[in-house]
Amino acid sequence: MIDVSASLQPWVSQITTTSEGAGQIMLDQPDHAATLVLRTMPGDEVALHLVGPQTKARYHLGTPGLVRVNMRLHPGRARLLLDRPPRDLVDQVLSLPVTHEREGGFVNLSAEVRRLAEALVDGVPVSGKDLDRSRLVTAASDMLVTADIQASARRLHVSERHLRAAFVGEVGLPPKKFARIERIRRVLESGRANTWTDTALEAGYYDHSHMTFEFRSIMGTSPSVFFGGLRSGVHCKGTFERAVEVVDPRM
């Protein structure tokens, strides 16, 4: 985990690193947030991508020496960064230009990541209205895991139509799909620490069967197989094995 600098906190919620190894099965998790991904290998130039919200898990075999730094964005920030409707980013990977050259590799990886991200967002305005919509989505996120949109809207003192529009406008996903992905992420985070029934209830499912059904549809396998250790037979393509569209966020 890398600390998020003060200048990036309005944009980035979390920064993590992932190292890949030969023959290792790598997971690109389903996620309702967009993520900036910096990819680098020793001696190679860096590549910067924006991964839109991902509605399905994707797997790929690891590339030896590859390091990924994942900068998870707050809701609505991808829209501001690229000036695109978030729904156009769902299940997409965009390649962003990197306007610097390295000499001798990363001496301080965390400092390099911050510098690239700060340069990318420099000068992109965030208005009070943008922050209000983002806060509304954040406030509704936990509620929607266990409550429907009508109940969530009542608790937040907004109309159902307004809340639905906020999710589609800021995240690119309707509230129901957002909640399905959030529940899966909670299962992935909890791992196999409890019984399946306890895990299901804590993640916001009705029961074990409900969790298993949604897990299969999004993760491509059952919870028991996934947490038992994915081995051969994983044929899903990884996020970065797909063709990417090259986009300049300044245009």
Residue 86 φ/ψ region, left for φ over 0, alpha for ψ in the -120 to 50 degree band, beta for the rest = alpha
Q: At 98, list the tokens.
A: 């990197």
Higher pLDDT, 102 or 142: 142
Q: How many helices (H) and strands (E) does the chain have?
A: 9, 8
Average pLDDT in the 126-151 region?
Answer: 84
Confidence of residue 104 (pLDDT cuts 50, 70, 90): very low
Q: Would the pLDDT of 41 be above 90? A: no
Confidence of residue 103 (pLDDT cuts 50, 70, 90): very low
Higher pLDDT, 167 or 2: 167
pLDDT value of position 111: 63
Cα distance between residue 109 and residue 113, in whole Å: 6
Q: At 212, list the tokens.
A: 């298993």
Asked whether 133 and 169 are in contact (CB, 8 A), the reply is yes
Average pLDDT in the 9-17 region?
Answer: 86
Average pLDDT in the 221-226 region?
Answer: 90
Question: What one-letter code names the amino acid at 76?
Answer: G
Collapsed DSSP state (helix, strand, coil) of residue 159: coil
Q: Would the pLDDT of 101 be above 80? A: no
The single-letter DSSP state of residue 192 is T
Q: Would the pLDDT of 57 be above 60? A: yes
Q: List the domains of the chain with CATH numbers.
A: 12-122+237-246 (no CATH), 128-228 (1.10.10.60)
Q: Is the dihedral of CA 68, 74, 76, 77 positive or negative?
A: negative
